[in-house]
Structure 1
Amino acid sequence: MTGLIILAAGCSSRLGEPKQNLVFDNKTLLQRAIDAGRGSGCNPVIVVLGANAGAIVPVISGQDDILIVINPEWQEGIASSIRTGLAEIEKDDRVSNAIIMLCDQPFVDAALLQKLILAKQQSGKNIVACSYAGTIGVPALFDRILFAKLLKLQGQDGAKKILKDHPDDVATIEFDKGNIDIDTKGDYDHLLNAGN
């Protein structure tokens, strides 16, 4: 079984409002991420919130098939959110893999997440990451054997640190639009205009 951790705890400082609630194609960015997780068959689907949780929870509440956890240490950086989500995943012994994804990559869909799971089965590697814009990154799938290393991440170290530390254990899949994420108002405007 593969669990999914959606990292959505940041304060969106460069944007000036919670990016999680920005609407693209009639859904918030966070709801798009949740729907991708649902459609992929991942279980559990965990949403890690932190900053602005009070403004985000009402938008996604009432969805019984997802688990919302609050990261009280979100200001430390992305590592604290990975640890928060993984602590929940680890409670279920049936979960053999975890996918880590961000809430602000609008083109992640269920098919992409399913490709990560399939590539894990076919490659036998302990990590499957997405390849885009000359780099590899999230969404990325990690075998349970690496959970302990993910739990040791600190500060701004994200999943990419594990990818760099274990290059021989990484399989990749192509994700052409993986470099599109929303950090600024300009990013969001570009996303909206590109759809027209």
Structure 2
Amino acid sequence: MRSRPRVAGLLLAAGAGRRLGGRPKALLRHRGRSLAEHAAANLADGGCDTVHIVLGASAAEIPTPGGCHRVVNPDWSDGMGSSLRAGLAALPEDAEAVVVLLVDQPGITPAAVARVIAAHREGAELAVAAYEGATGHPVLFTRAHFPGVARLAVGDAGARGHLRAHADRVVRVPCHDVAYPADVDTPADLRLLIGGGPAAPTGSWCGRVSLSADSTP
């Protein structure tokens, strides 16, 4: 019997946190653990068979979350695209698909990860979380799309260019009832970490964080 295709988790955590005064976002605390630990656990608990974390700025200061494979991107200052490329290159050959998360979105949950993986199990090659009209993370794409994603991942662009080029094949997976995609980018955003955010996200949250029609990096 053919074994189930393996899905890897890829956590991008290489940024310097310049708008936070140079504090690495991966080390910010949320629900009693670092954001790196929080996001890595969400990938694993959501169904990823293996989890890779891409570090860059302050990599020496950031412990590898338990169970994760560590990837250091020496070109992190070139933008998020370089970290995505480094992460894809490090994935095991038996990974049929990858789920990508950003370390600075504490409201993404294992349930959202599980939903995009379920969409893949049902046949989706490209799947993105949908939040009441906007799209965001988690994002899933199969190995066949790795070269195309990597080719267009330049500067601070991630998978967005490839997803737009194949918009007719992208499955939008409703996640607004189980996750909220707000970023921790500035000191004002640290409020998202106080008390861990709302226990049960609702549709009104997405309106408060002013998502664009397409916020997928």
Query: TM-score by structure 1 length?
Result: 0.89
1:21 aligns with 2:27: yes
Q: Which residue of 2 aligns with 1:96?
A: 96
Q: Secondary structure, in 3 states, of the residue corresponding to 1:75?
A: helix
Q: Which residue of structure 1 lines up, in the alignment, with residue 69 of structure 2?
A: 67
Residues 151-186 of structure 1: per-residue CA shift (max 9 Å, x gap): 212112111222211111111112324331100110
Task: Give CA deviations for 1:18-41 in whole Å, capped at 9, x if unaligned.
Answer: 111111111211110111122123
CA distance in 2, matches of 1:163, 1:178: 21
Moved over 3 A (4+): 193-196
- Counterparts of 1:77-88 in structure 2 under 5 Å? 77-88=79-90
Shift of 1:142: 0.2
Identity of aligned residues (%): 32
Pairwise CA distance, 1:139: 1.1
Q: SS in structure 1 opposite 2:18?
A: coil
- The whole-number CA distance in structure 2 between the counterparts of 1:119 and 1:41 is 12
Q: Find the aligned partners of 1:157 and 1:72 in 2 and give their Cα distance.
A: 17
Q: How far does residue 109 in structure 1 lie from its aligned partner after superposition?
A: 2.2
CA-to-aligned-CA distance 1:39-74 (integer Å, 9 cap, x gap): 1231220000000112212xx46x2x2101100000
1:52 paired residue number: 58
| Separation of aligned partners in 2, 1:109 and 1:85 | 21
In 1, distance between residues paired with 2:191 and 2:128?
28
Report SS of the residue matched to 1:186: helix
Q: Say yes or no: does 1:114 pair with 2:119.
A: no
Give 1:5's aligned amino acid: L
Question: Residue 139 of structure 2 corresponds to which residue in structure 1?
Answer: 140
TM-score, normalisation: structure 2:
0.81
> What code does the residue aligned with 1:66 have?
C
**Segment drifting more, 111-120 vs 172-181:** 172-181
Paired position in structure 1 for 2:12 = 7
- Give 1:131's aligned amino acid: A
**Matched-pair contact (CA < 8 Å) for 1:130–1:178:** no
Superposition RMSD in Å: 1.8
Q: Gapped runs of 5+ residues in structure 1?
A: none
The superposition leaves residues 77-131 of structure 1 with CA deviations (integer Å, 9 ceiling, x where unpaired) of: 0110001100011xx3321101111011112222221111111122x23101011
CA distance in 1, matches of 2:185, 2:75: 21
Unaligned runs of 5+ in 2: 1-5, 200-217
